[in-house]
């Protein structure tokens, strides 16, 4: 009877999740904001000015500018130590400068990157995915997380100093390999006090374009992203991005698929931003972020279902899931990130020089939103998929021995 109930859980929840995930295909993607003709002209003028300046003979920095550049480099290095320090730095900045909304999106996405990295050492995955794949996947996630921070955090600090001094300091951007694309956007934002969606949309485009050449399109990671094992982890919903709220069943988020496709990553970022900053969600998610410091363990938001202690005494853990909860007072092992991954990426960082096609970028300068299936159902269905694959693998090995 118990086994039949367990089977019923997986035979109902997983197919149901697949059905509801099909619903968004019938909804059109809405354009919430797009670039105005005035903003387009301003950006093009800024990019021309930056291009002319970059073509001129370089003049040595004045002593006060040199000190600022050195301080920003030192601060960036200090907080680019690992996923935990990066994630905390984004939130600290947003709390000081809430007008820079992208920083909070970066905090929440970086949190999820940390959860995903810890998942690779969680209860089930080491038994169903080969270790070499898990290490390479962690390596890609860690590098991407670090590369984006190395590019974005100096921008945030330049903005902070510009705000304090009442004058734009983004002419110093080239000292940090910041793209002329986003430099031009910052100039328009600061000088025109542009409070539209221009800046966060551009930041999403910039960071995804930055890692496209520097990481995603390298031979090593193209091979990883094209592998059957990577497609399996997408099906398992390992890379779902979750923004917790209370009660948890009302949490929001999106499924991340087709990571290798730049356009899909940009669209995902835009949809995540549009979802996160809806008035009924943003205060709740922000409250969660400030209440629970990021550790990489899913205990951060659900210590009823997860534990940082690996309490299983058996060689393989038992089945623990029942619909939207764990059963019989059991918990799923979800370790602190820094307890299970000692390696972090700290360079070298190469400028990607990605900004070549103005028209392509201008076309992408809009904010999109599309209906999303209930996140909590998708989240728990993903957990059941992982457990199901694990159990199948376990029983297959037992039968093979017999």
- The string of pLDDT tens digits covering residues 314-366 is 555 577 888 788 887 789 999 999 999 999 998 889 876 899 999 999 999 99
Euclidean distance between CA atoms 279 and 277, whole angstroms: 6
Name every residue whose Cβ is closer than 8 Å to that of residue 69 and which is 6 or more positions away in sequence.
61, 172, 175, 176
- 247-294 pLDDT, tens per residue? 999 999 998 877 889 999 999 999 999 999 999 999 999 999 999 999
Distance separating alpha carbons of residues 135 and 117, to the nearest angstrom: 10
Do residues 81 and 231 touch, judged by C-beta distance below 8 A?
no
- pLDDT tens per residue across span 196-237: 899 999 999 999 999 998 899 999 999 998 887 888 777 666
CB 116 within 8 A of CB 239: yes
**pLDDT band, residue 152 (cuts 50/70/90):** very high
Task: Please state the pTM of the whole predicted model.
Answer: 0.92
How many domains does one find in the chain? 1
Q: Determine the structural domain holding residue 128 and report its residue range.
A: 2-401
Name the token pair of 164: 């304090």
Q: In angstroms, rounded to a whole number, what is the distance separating the alpha carbons of residues 363 and 56?
A: 29
Take residue 38 and report the two structure tokens written for it: 């005035």
336 CB neighbour count, 10 Å cutoff: 16
Beta strands in 201-342, from DSSP E residues, in sequence order: 241-243, 252-254, 306-307, 321-322, 325-326, 332-333
């Amino acid at each position: 009877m118990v086994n039949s109930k367990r089977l019923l859980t997986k035979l109902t929840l997983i197919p149901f999740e697949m059905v509801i995930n099909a619903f968004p295909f019938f909804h059109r993607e809405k354009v919430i904001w797009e670039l105005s003709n005035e903003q387009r002209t301003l950006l093009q003028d800024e990019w021309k000015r930056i291009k002319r300046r970059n073509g001129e003979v370089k003049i040595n920095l004045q002593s006060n500018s040199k000190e600022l550049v050195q301080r920003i480099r030192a601060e960036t290095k200090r907080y680019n130590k690992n996923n935990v320090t990066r994630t905390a730095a984004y939130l600290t900045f947003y709390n000081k400068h809430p007008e820079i909304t992208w920083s909070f999106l970066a905090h929440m996405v970086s949190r999820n990157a940390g959860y995903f990295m810890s998942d690779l050492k969680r209860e089930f995955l080491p038994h169903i995915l080969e270790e070499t794949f898990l290490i390479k996947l962690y390596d890609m996630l860690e590098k991407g997380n670090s590369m984006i921070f190395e590019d974005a955090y100096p921008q945030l600090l330049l903005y902070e100093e510009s705000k304090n001094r009442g004058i734009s300091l983004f002419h110093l951007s080239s000292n940090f390999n910041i793209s002329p694309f986003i430099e031009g956007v910052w100039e328009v934002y600061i000088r025109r006090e542009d409070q539209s969606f221009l800046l966060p949309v551009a930041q999403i485009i910039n960071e995804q374009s930055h890692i496209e050449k520097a990481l995603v399109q390298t031979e090593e990671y193209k091979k990883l992203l094209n592998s059957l094992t990577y497609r399996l982890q997408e099906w398992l919903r390992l890379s779902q991005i979750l923004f917790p709220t209370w009660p948890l069943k009302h949490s929001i988020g999106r499924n991340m698929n087709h990571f290798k496709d730049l356009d899909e990553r940009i669209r995902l970022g835009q949809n995540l931003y549009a979802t996160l900053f809806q008035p009924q969600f943003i205060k709740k998610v922000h409250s969660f972020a400030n209440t629970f410091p990021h550790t990489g363990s899913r205990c951060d938001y659900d210590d009823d279902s997860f534990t940082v202690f690996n309490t299983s005494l058996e060689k393989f853990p038992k089945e623990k899931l029942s619909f939207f909860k764990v059963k019989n007072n059991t918990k799923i092992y979800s370790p602190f990130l820094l307890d299970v991954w000692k390696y972090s990426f700290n360079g070298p960082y190469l400028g990607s020089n990605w900004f070549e096609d103005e028209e392509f970028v201008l076309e992408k300068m809009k904010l999109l939103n599309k209906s999303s299936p209930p996140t909590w159902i998708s989240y728990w269905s993903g957990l059941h998929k992982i457990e199901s694959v694990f159990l199948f693998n376990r029983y297959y090995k037992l039968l093979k021995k017999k």
